[in-house]
Structure 1
């Protein structure tokens, strides 16, 4: 437990678990898992939602897109708001908003109300997500931070992979509305544990919000995310390309604006990128986010469309991957602390790539679902070894005063990677000469991405010192307090 957390416990006479690092980690991970699961769990419910709400495919797809769009666009801004208002406050507010929006989704009587509720859900997820990493960095001492971030990072992979399994089980048993209703008890539990166990760590300094940066980054990320998600639907017409170009131009303006504000609390401190480890690992987060989406979606479609499995049976067939990942991830985090995260990460890249390559070769019209079990287990082993060290290595040299900004950048890049992976997967599936050929083509993309990631990982690097604090981000030690 950090000094701040200990001080808070002694000061308030709170319960024994208040400020306990592992209790804090469990609470944050549960909230993080809930928001990431909602990115993939709803996909398998789309046919049932269309029938129940008499909605068209375009309308129901916005049930997925609206959530992702708001989440990706607001992560950087939410990270800075956490620095200003307190990470626990933003985490609790995001959890409450997400829970209320989940109830509204489950009660939706038409596609418009469902889409609106999903947008609010995305806002709640955006508020809470970047606070999780920042709170972990503030709560855990350096010696145990690698294991903690490894467990936290593994949640992303498990949530992404387990979505189809849990979604299929829920939709096939109690109906699609419970895909959302299940978040209500979980969200209430997270809220209760947040105020009971998570200390309110803040700094004594006043923070300022860069409103110009917020507007520029929000517009750039919204436009780019929309173009990537909707490009295939609109056949990549000139309007989509114009939107993408305009978004990139706004992104360039945002970076120029940030360069001028490096001594005045920027949204993105450029000091983060002086460490090659943070830069490379953040880029790998985007690539691996794209690879995970690019693997799960085609495999799920293959099981249902080519082998004729129901939603629940397809979900169960995919279950070996998240189960193995869940078992491996804690050990991968510990191993990263002992032998170095890069070695564990490289092993994960090779394992996932090998498993996915085997799945491509075995995904034939005469295949049986069980023939994919071994490749899926290899993919799960790879996910557990990839995701766990990523956050550990990315945050290894990041000082606590930059943890909020680093979390915002990490999560934004991962989210954009997932969006780009989904867009590329859809385009490749449509480009195949037959549906099966399209699925094979789409599954080959993650293999290529992982090969590139492995190449970047083994490139020799020069050692960099840990970050010196930037003028706008001075060290904050004695001024921390825990409520």
Structure 2
């Protein structure tokens, strides 16, 4: 998901057999924060950089969509398998290899002589992120206990949100000053520090007794999701469904069905155990996450793009315009987590998306001539307030909706679903990105109303599928 924030369950620590407090806890926390910040920064700064990258490569509408989705696709499809590989082969090892791959791919992005090489490097970045993100969090879970674990995970999530918040403005400043390639070179010193600290101070951990990763499921999920994304991207960019596009969509659907068949055969050893979907609450929360975070991911792409292309904003100003979203979510989420623990997640997860829907509807006032304070800020404040109400209760609700044995998988899957929602939303936005000037603004207004409908649907799903009882607290918190 291309947002300036961690995913909804990125901050939910999975259960772990290790309970011994590790030495050098602050350096371990710093390593995990630096590692995960690579993915959070990259996922947010590209929204501001897209117009400049598109111009530099002379990219078509569909190619511009792949600038974002080439990263999000492997991250969404392989996030769970990355965590499983860390359990089996060592979390420190997989995390460090993921950082190294991400860094090498970042340098290749900056130096890419063609769009094809650039997109390949973006895909390698996504693969590296799928390796480092789940294992940075799992390393925290293995290295801290009790209240210390809760504080460590909370700090990890908060700093990740701050990094993602600052990144668009910093990236815009780099684009305005020395050019877009330097937003990728920014990753190099961060990664070097993470590797140096991780190599020296992070203890190895894992769960070698777990079954082998579900490689067949991972391959089917990646290729199937890729085919669906490719077909939807080509369809939305051209405005019509061609024979090749339709064949890609059909192949994606067929591969997705094959994925479900494989997961059913593997049972409890599957990448996505289907037994989790025996819970109506979990099914509802999965749909809720897909719709709400799909709408949010679409907005985070389109808003800075429209501000730059139609509103005449500089990349720096467009990045600064997004600051209210992560700030309000970061400030509001802790208290909403406590409230949801007392009253249950049903009402927060119904009310939050209603505010988000109102914000999307109000975004139709954003235009080429409008003032930021009267046209852009009010809908952004509503969306931010709604997400602040929903983010923490969603994490609690997901962990409460499945058996304890599935808690880690459920949190990882929910995070992957959030990113997949953004992936599909971006694939469908070609009809907006292909427009210019006033036509771009009009298409953005139509997309904003569609996003409002998705947010309303997510509110209805939460209200009808969640019970009225209190939720148990997420694992790893006091």
TM value normalised by structure 2: 0.81
SS at match of 2:180: coil
Partners of 2:147 and 2:286 in 1: CA distance: 22
Aligned partner of 1:175 in structure 2 is 179
Q: CA deviation at 1:85?
A: 1.8
Contact kept, 8 Å, 1:332 with 1:385, in 2: the verdict is yes
Per the alignment, residue 217 of structure 1 pairs with 221
- Pairing 1:397-476 to 2, within 5 Å after superposition: 398=402, 401-427=405-431, 434-459=439-464, 461=466
C-alpha distance in 1 between matches for 2:82 and 2:137: 13
Residue 231 of structure 2 corresponds to: 227
Q: Aligned in 2, Cα 1:150/1:342: closer, same or farther, shift over 3 Å?
A: farther
Aligned partner of 1:316 in structure 2 is 320
CA contact (8 A) 1:320 1:377 kept: yes
Q: Does 1:15 align with 2:19?
A: no
* Range moving further from structure 2, 426-435 or 291-300: 426-435
Q: Which moved more, 1:243-252 or 1:386-395?
A: 386-395
Query: C-alpha separation between the residues in 2 aligned to 1:190 and 1:156?
Result: 14
Note the alpha carbon deviations across 1:161-190, whole angstroms, 9 max, x for none.
766434322211332122101111222333
The RMSD of aligned alpha carbons is 3.6
Contact 2:286 2:414 in 1 (8 A): yes
> Aligned pair in 2 of structure 1 residues 136, 387: CA closer, same or farther (>3 Å)?
farther
Alpha-carbon shift at residue 98 of structure 1 (Å): 0.8
Q: Distance in 1 between matches of 2:176 and 2:435?
A: 31
Tell me the equivalent position of 2:357: 353
Higher alpha-carbon deviation: 130-139 or 402-411: 130-139
User: Using the alignment, how far apart are the partners of 2:179 and 2:252 within structure 1?
Assistant: 39
**Matched residue of 1:209: which SS?**
coil
Quote the Cα distance in structure 2 between the aligned partners of 1:281 and 1:148: 26
Q: Could you report, residue by residue, the CA deviation over 1:32-64 in whole angstroms, capped at 9, with x for unpaired residues?
A: 343143234224334444565676676565443
1:478 alignment partner in structure 2: none
The answer to whether the 8 A contact 1:213-1:267 is kept is: yes
Q: 1:303, 1:369 within 8 Å by CA — same for their partners in 2?
A: no
Q: Could you list the runs of 5+ residues in structure 1 that have no partner in the other structure?
A: 467-483
CA distance in 2, matches of 1:456, 1:35: 30
Equivalent in the alignment of 1:105: 109
The Cα shift of 1:245 comes to 1.5
CA distance in 1, matches of 2:44, 2:84: 27
Give the unaligned 5+ runs of structure 2: 1-12, 472-478
- Partners of 1:151 and 1:329 within 8 A in 2: no
After superposition, give the CA deviation of every residue in 1:309-350 in whole Å (9 maximum; x if it has no partner): 222222222322232223323333344344434443334323
How far, CA to CA, are the matches of 1:58 and 1:359 in structure 2?
25
Which one of 354, 363, 368 corresponds to residue 366 of structure 2? Answer: 363
- Cα deviations by residue, 1:98-145 (Å, 9 ceiling, x for unpaired): 122212222334434323322211110122233355556666768898
Alpha-carbon distance change, 169 to 284 in structure 1, aligned in 2, over 3 angstroms:
farther
Aligned pair partner of 1:388 in 382, 389, 392: 392
Kept in 2: contact 1:75–1:130 (CA 8 A): yes
**Does structure 1 retain, via aligned residues, the 8 Å contact 2:346–2:466?**
no
